[in-house]
């Protein structure tokens, strides 16, 4: 059925069914992994499994160390259970509990989102208490965990991501949908309609809501790992325009980023075009840690996905760490490309470093609480070419009911104070706009290209 033919009152139902389908697919993947890990795929394996657990019918209880650990806290009145687990060892039991906890968190989030249900304060307090206890226990286990169990969990995480890759290629990479291979990068330009006539309406261009990407933070590091981390890999988004990867972060092993506990943020370089959000967006994270000169010693930091449909953050959970992507959905948006930032006259204004960032605003004033998209930031000299700054990011999202603020700051040195300037660009559907401001007495020129969104890549081929 064509999306435009769905009655508006049924759109929420269709979206809910789509999400429940994703949950079912996710749980099926987990069940398939459980069957494989327990060798239940064959009749011989099933008989051996039943025989093992029949012999262990006397039950298993948790270790005395964990009992002592729990008795120190307020939930000591909860009695330890002594029942036979449907697993062969404690590591597998813990993995099963983690899967259940993950599903519980997902369903609580869905309940709150779908039905706008409020959670009583007392239940929130209990959730907080239990989560603290689980965290303490998990840290105790991680401290004494065996390398074999770590590798097993890491392999399971990679295996699940590999299954997603295979599923994507069999669906979107098929000859029918023709979206290419899993690793193909979007080739659509963020300036596709920049030079269009404002009053000429083409069927393939439209106004819609889009995502503003702010930051990607690594946290909750496994105690077996230590800061700093030498990180390389990919963080990408897929929207319904072409279903190809839109890279937010892409770093090779040779040029890995040093991530520290003090600065746990990845240096984002994308998106290469604004991310359309009229349908749920898929985020993919494949990050590794570099160890020494031999690539065979490298380990996976996190391999995870997120089927994002709303909110100010997308969360990712892995064996070695967790991560969060800060973002915002901008309604009725246009995409803006910062073509250039130039210091007129070729003066080296950023000799001691600086920061250039932008944000969406409905008024021509600085909002100190507003999150910003950092275009370039360095405590050292920022590279320039004939006065033109080298930017890390160029594409941002701006709502049409407002404009884009560009904040420029040049850091000071021993004989020069820090100076700053501010520019405001009213949002446009298309065309190029150019403005200047004074930063410490020097003229700085900023050029921005505006464009509508492409609705579907297939319509412009």
Question: 332-459 adopts what CATH topology?
Answer: Immunoglobulin-like (2.60.40)
Query: Among 389, 326, 331, which Cα is nearest to 360's?
Result: 331
SS3 content of the chain, % helix, strand, coil (to 5): 30, 30, 40
Residue 173: per-residue pLDDT:
72
Between 376 and 461, the more confident residue is 376
Of the listed ranges 120-134, 219-233, 282-296, the one predicted with least confidence? 120-134
Given a cut of 80, whether residue 279 has pLDDT beyond it is: yes
Q: What is the mean pLDDT of residues 322-326?
A: 96
pLDDT, one tens digit per residue, over 40-70 is 656 666 666 666 655 444 444 444 444 444 4
Closest among 98, 145, 153, 136 to 320, alpha carbons compared: 153
H helix intervals, 43-89:
43-55, 64-71
Q: What is the pLDDT of residues 339-381, one digit of tens each?
A: 999 999 877 889 999 999 999 887 766 666 789 999 999 999 9
Lowest-confidence pick of 330-339, 349-358, 450-459: 450-459
The pLDDT > 70 percentage for the chain reads: 64
58, with CB counted inside 10 A (0-12, 13-18, 19+), is exposed
Is the pTM value of this prediction over 0.85?
A: no
Residue 201 has pLDDT above 60, yes or no: no
Q: 207 falls in which pLDDT band (50, 70, 90)?
A: confident
Whether residue 71 has pLDDT greater than 50:
no
Q: For residue 420, what are the β-bridge partners?
A: 409
- Cα–Cα distances (Å) from 194 to 174, 204, 205, 341, in that order, read 32, 14, 11, 18
pLDDT of residue 84: 44
For 255-266, what is each residue's pLDDT tens digit? 999 999 999 999
CB contact at 8 A, 98 and 152: no
**451 sits in which H/E element:** strand 442-451
pLDDT at 420: 94
Q: What integer best gives the mean pLDDT of the chain?
A: 79
Is the pLDDT higher at 73 or at 457? Answer: 457
Alpha-carbon distance 409 to 353, whole Å? Answer: 9
Q: Which CATH architecture has domain 184-330?
A: Sandwich (2.60)
Q: What is the pLDDT of residues 283-315, one digit of tens each?
A: 999 999 999 888 888 999 999 999 998 899 999
Count of CB atoms within 10 A of residue 243's CB?
19
In the chain, where are the structural domains located? 38-145, 184-330, 332-459
The pLDDT of 129-141, averaged and rounded, is 68
Lowest mean pLDDT among 68-77, 183-192, 228-237, 358-367: 68-77
- Which residues make beta-bridge pairs with 317? 322
- Looking at per-residue pLDDT, the higher value among 83 and 270 belongs to 270
């Amino acid at each position: 059925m064509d999306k435009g033919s769905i009655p508006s009152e049924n759109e929420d139902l269709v979206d809910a069914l789509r999400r429940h389908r994703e949950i079912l697919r996710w749980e099926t993947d987990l069940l398939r992994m459980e069957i494989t890990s327990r060798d239940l795929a064959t009749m011989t394996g099933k008989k051996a499994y039943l025989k093992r657990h029949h012999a262990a019918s006397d039950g298993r209880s948790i270790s005395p160390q964990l009992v002592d650990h729990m008795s120190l806290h307020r939930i000591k009145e909860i009695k330890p259970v002594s029942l036979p687990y449907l697993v062969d060892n404690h590591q597998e039991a813990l993995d099963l509990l983690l899967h259940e906890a993950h599903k519980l968190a997902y369903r609580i989030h869905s309940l709150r989102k779908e039905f706008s249900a409020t959670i009583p304060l007392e239940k929130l307090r209990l959730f907080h208490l239990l989560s603290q206890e689980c965290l303490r226990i998990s840290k105790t286990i991680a401290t004494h965990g065996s390398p074999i169990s770590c590798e097993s969990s890491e392999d399971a995480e990679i295996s699940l991501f590999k299954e997603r890759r295979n599923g994507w290629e069999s669906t979107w990479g098929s000859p029918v949908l023709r979206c290419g291979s899993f690793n193909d990068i979007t080739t659509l330009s963020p300036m596709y309609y920049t030079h269009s006539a404002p009053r000429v309406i083409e069927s393939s261009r439209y106004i819609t809501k889009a995502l503003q990407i702010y930051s990607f933070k690594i946290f909750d590091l496994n105690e077996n790992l230590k800061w700093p981390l030498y990180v390389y890999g990919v963080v990408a988004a897929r929207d319904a325009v072409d279903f190809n990867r839109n890279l937010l972060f892409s770093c090779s092993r040779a040029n890995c980023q040093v991530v520290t506990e003090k600065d746990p943020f990845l240096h984002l370089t994308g998106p290469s075009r604004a991310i359309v959000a009229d349908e749920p967006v898929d985020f993919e994270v494949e990050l590794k840690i570099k160890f020494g000169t031999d690539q065979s010693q490298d380990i996976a930091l996190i391999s995870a996905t997120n089927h994002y449909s709303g909110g100010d953050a997308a969360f990712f959970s892995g064996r070695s760490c967790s991560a969060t992507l800060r973002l915002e959905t901008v309604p009725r948006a246009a995409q803006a490309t910062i073509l250039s930032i130039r210091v007129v006259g070729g003066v080296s204004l950023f000799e001691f470093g600086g920061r250039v960032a932008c944000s969406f605003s409905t008024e021509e004033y600085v909002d100190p609480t507003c999150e910003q998209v950092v275009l370039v930031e360095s405590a050292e000299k920022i590279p320039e070419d004939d006065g033109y700054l080298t930017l890390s990011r160029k594409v941002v999202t701006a709502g049409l009911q407002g404009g884009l603020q560009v904040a420029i700051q040049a850091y000071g040195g021993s004989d020069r104070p820090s100076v700053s300037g501010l520019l405001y660009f009213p949002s446009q559907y298309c065309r190029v706009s150019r403005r200047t401001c004074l930063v410490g007495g020097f003229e700085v020129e900023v050029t921005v290209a505006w464009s509508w969104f492409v609705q579907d890549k297939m319509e412009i081929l």
